[in-house]
Chain A
């Protein structure tokens, strides 16, 4: 697939891509035939970039993320494809052929996942600090088991990173607002300094005021930690404000991928064009055109 616009270098010294998805096919078994949710997707993710996956409901973007992380459950199944993942501290692996044990070793340490509505996946009966410890001690092997004390020192730093007060560590999830919970999860997701963080609809279901904070924090994750980000969202505004490159999905296929400015300004694929055109923008509206344009207004009956 030809990319739209020129590619931008993100400054990392590594030349090999972090993630290479080839011909990924994910299907769902139904009572009639199998339905293809992801239909032959090819995508390369570069180290240190923020890549956005855009698309409407049913386009397959969440299924793509879930399949990538091997969290797919029946009736979904992976029908074909490979996903080469090149972590900075290990051998390149095909994520789709790993067994459960080696996948567990990768999760949180090399790949983190912020699922949709993830603020609801915090354990309601554990304090924030305990959940951090849980994650780090469970997944932090290989670097010599981190001790509880090291983790405790890490927590305030991570919380501050996402704009939260260190005191949040002592709180229970129900004492936090949606935006704060989302940021706690973001802090947890980078605790082990992974190569890749996959965020699925990180701003949906949050107030628009807090959305900007989340977008800011996500950008900080890349700028200050060098984490590669994959951001999945149906909100084109999120992509416009945050990502370097964007891939547009429609009916299970990637119809366009490229530099975000190029995709917005000069979309090549007809679907992308109609998608960009139908985004409402503050400053543009039919009544403005009517005001500024013709003198005639339709009569009220």
Chain B
């Protein structure tokens, strides 16, 4: 089942605003995303990073693009059509071509079922195979593509696998579906360093081999640099700077970007910070005390 990439696909956000009801705020609501517009295209396939801190609105944007959250105003279109009013065929196409990778490998599986189910459901719902044996072959092929041994993984329950294995099963699912767009929301934040690098390498492979465009959402600037491509810097619901990674990270223009870059602790003891950071500038930028659910910074379980 090959996907033709001769036609390019486009996701476009136009002046999207997202407000949530919030008791205790003066206006009665919290604006997670202010008039935001962006275009994601598969021509050429690329990695676009959306980097921001907790409460910046980046996860909200991901959920809006995935159709899980309806924006307060503004439009989200897939190939020109509003994703909240698609015909059945258009909806099937949209769902087939816009797929997520979520952050928490522990919560992404329903603990009641074996991990196979996630793959089988995708096969069944998207009609990827005509028989049980074809389905099995497809699963084995995709698991191997993400460097997982099928017999170490198939038939197991989620709690029997590590976080890295679980996250790679999600990638195997993406591999099976070959969507045009991968919306990856903090996909490596809860993974160990070595597994993280491995995972990012696989994402880069997918871009080259299958022409997928990935929206890579993260708070970690170092991983943004690693994957390359383009980057958008978001804070408090507004995108303040965007451009190619090398350009933005070596020549930041917006004060927030500069602050971000100055705060990343470089893993080199010979390059310690020699100056003291401006506390006031930091406190101005910090997320306020009430941050909507889903926007919290990720923590690594110990």
Selecting from A16-24, A148-156, A208-216, the interface stretch reads: A208-216
B225 near A282 (CB under 8 angstroms)?
A: yes
With a cutoff of 8 Å between Cβ atoms, the chain A residues found around residue B161 in the complex are none
Name the contact of A280 in the complex, choosing from B5, B226, B286 (C-beta under 8 A).
B226
Chain B nearest Cβ from A179, distance in angstroms: 6
B282 near A210 (CB under 8 angstroms)?
A: yes
With a cutoff of 8 Å between Cβ atoms, the chain B residues found around residue A280 in the complex are 196-197, 220, 222-223, 225-226
A298 near B193 (CB under 8 angstroms)?
A: no
Chain A residues 165-205 with CB under 8 Å of chain B are 174-180, 201, 204-205
B265 near A238 (CB under 8 angstroms)?
A: yes
With a cutoff of 8 Å between Cβ atoms, the chain B residues found around residue A177 in the complex are 283, 286-289
Residue of A nearest to B273 (CB): A241
Name the contact of A209 in the complex, choosing from B204, B228, B285, B300 (C-beta under 8 A).
B285
When each residue 117-149 of chain B gets 1 if its CB lies under 8 Å from chain A and 0 otherwise, what string results? Answer: 000000000000000000000000000000000
Chain A residues 209-235 with CB under 8 Å of chain B are 209-213, 215-216, 234-235
B289 near A175 (CB under 8 angstroms)?
A: yes
Name the contact of A207 in the complex, choosing from B53, B201, B289 (C-beta under 8 A).
B53
B269 near A274 (CB under 8 angstroms)?
A: no
B264 near A282 (CB under 8 angstroms)?
A: yes
A56 near B193 (CB under 8 angstroms)?
A: yes
Q: How far is the CA of A264 from the CA of B272 in the complex (A)?
A: 13
Q: How far is the CA of A300 from the CA of B206 in the complex (A)?
A: 10
Band of interface residues on B: 35 or more
With a cutoff of 8 Å between Cβ atoms, the chain A residues found around residue B276 in the complex are 216
B277 near A216 (CB under 8 angstroms)?
A: yes
A84: interface (CB < 8 Å): no
Q: How far is the CA of A237 from the CA of B299 in the complex (A)?
A: 16
Q: How far is the CA of A267 from the CA of B66 in the complex (A)?
A: 44
A207 near B286 (CB under 8 angstroms)?
A: yes
A117-B299, A286-B226, A287-B228 in contact; A236/B267 too (CB < 8 A)?
Answer: yes
Instruction: Give A contacts to B, CB under 8 Å.
Output: 56-58, 61-63, 116-117, 163, 174-180, 201, 204-213, 215-216, 234-238, 240-241, 260-261, 264-265, 274-276, 278-288, 298, 300-301
15 contacts between A and B (CB under 8 A): A116-B299, A176-B289, A178-B286, A207-B54, A208-B221, A209-B263, A216-B276, A234-B193, A236-B193, A237-B264, A275-B194, A282-B225, A282-B266, A286-B201, A301-B210
**Beyond A57-B301, A163-B279, 19 additional pairs, beta carbon < 8 A:** A57-B163, A116-B302, A177-B283, A201-B299, A204-B297, A208-B263, A209-B53, A211-B265, A212-B263, A234-B302, A237-B222, A237-B264, A240-B265, A261-B269, A264-B269, A281-B266, A283-B225, A284-B226, A300-B45
- Sorted from nearest, which 7 A-B pairs have the closest CB atoms? A237-B265, A287-B228, A280-B222, A207-B53, A56-B192, A62-B302, A212-B263
